[in-house]
Structure 1
Amino acid sequence: MMEYIFFNAELAERFAEFARLIGAGCEERSDNMGLIVAVPEDLDEELDNRLDTYYAHLLDEQAEMVEQTEPGLKHNTSINITLIDGRTCAIRIEPEMMNRLMGCLSIDEIHQLATTIARNVENPDNRPLCQT
């Protein structure tokens, strides 16, 4: 399941309703990080893109809500990955960069990219590319 996280119940419910409306289906739950809306990973590309676009829109709304209620609070985004030794690590990404990434990649693809980079930093392969 692809997981989308929210920190506002209304936004999470709006996303879940949208997922159901476009035929994606979803499961809702909360965990220690926030409210999770999970959709199947095997969605076609069009549905996946529609969900990612709507999620980015809701994240912008969420950031505006936070800025209105807590002026001066900095909006941040991150991707959680598991390192080779099993530790969990949050990779912080500037919100503007995350929005740009989400414009062309799914959340899963962004997570895969971050995980690949982290794994290569942890276990570098300095051979020339033509030899890998």
Structure 2
Amino acid sequence: MNELLEYLFFTPAIADKFAAALQENDLVYVREIESMQGATLLKIADGVDDALWDSLDELYEVLNTEDQALLEAGLVDEDAKSTAGIYLQLAGGRQTVAQINPDVMNRMLSVITMDEFNAFIETIVRNVETPDDSAICQRQPN
């Protein structure tokens, strides 16, 4: 596999649902366990036709919502300690998870939406990866 599309899941049962859809569409995939969070990463070759890719993307969005709901409800592993992480997409396609205090994360999400939070994190990542040394009052708003 040259270029890969990657799909990250935090619960094995949800990852299995997505893997079943890949199998139903005769797509070869690689399953890996992500080292930082133990999440399941499903990788497929980037060459899927647009209609199938759109369908997979829609399914991923639905399953990702279900995956997150299970995590938030604490149904994944009742014996696991409470953790939170922010999934970061870096330049060049690199990905990482930044671990943060779950109480802090819950407090932030109690006052802003997930979209606002994601936009905030993307701004931080972009500015860390491409720093701007000009005065903040001279910069264009993002």
For the criterion TM > 0.5, the same-fold answer is yes
Q: Deviations 1:77-130 (Å, cap 9, x if unpaired)?
A: 5333158xx9x786xxx64479xxxxxxxxxxxxxxx6xx938x7166xxxxxx
| Distance in 2 between residues matched to 1:118 and 1:53, nearest whole Å | 26
Alignment match, 2:59: 54
Report if aligned partners of 2:34, 2:40 keep a CA contact under 8 Å in 1. yes
Counterpart check, 1:80 vs 2:89: yes
Report if aligned partners of 1:2, 1:39 keep a CA contact under 8 Å in 2. yes
Matched positions, count: 104
Cα distance change, pair 82–9 in 1 and its aligned pair in 2 (3 A)? same
Of residues 61, 66, 74, the one that matches 1:69 is 74
Unaligned runs of 5+ in 2: 76-81, 99-112, 133-142
Q: Deviations 1:15-74 (Å, cap 9, x if unpaired)?
A: 11111112332111112141110011111111111111111111111122122227xx8x
Report if aligned partners of 1:6, 1:36 keep a CA contact under 8 Å in 2. yes
Counterpart check, 1:42 vs 2:47: yes
Counterpart check, 1:122 vs 2:130: yes
2:90 aligned partner, one-letter code: I
Q: 3-state SS of the aligned residue for 2:64?
A: helix
| Distance in 2 between residues matched to 1:2 and 1:77, nearest whole Å | 20
2:5 aligned partner, one-letter code: M
| Distance in 2 between residues matched to 1:42 and 1:97, nearest whole Å | 32
Report if aligned partners of 1:2, 1:40 keep a CA contact under 8 Å in 2. yes
Q: Runs (4+) of structure 1 moved beyond 4 Å?
A: none
Q: TM-score scaled by structure 1?
A: 0.58
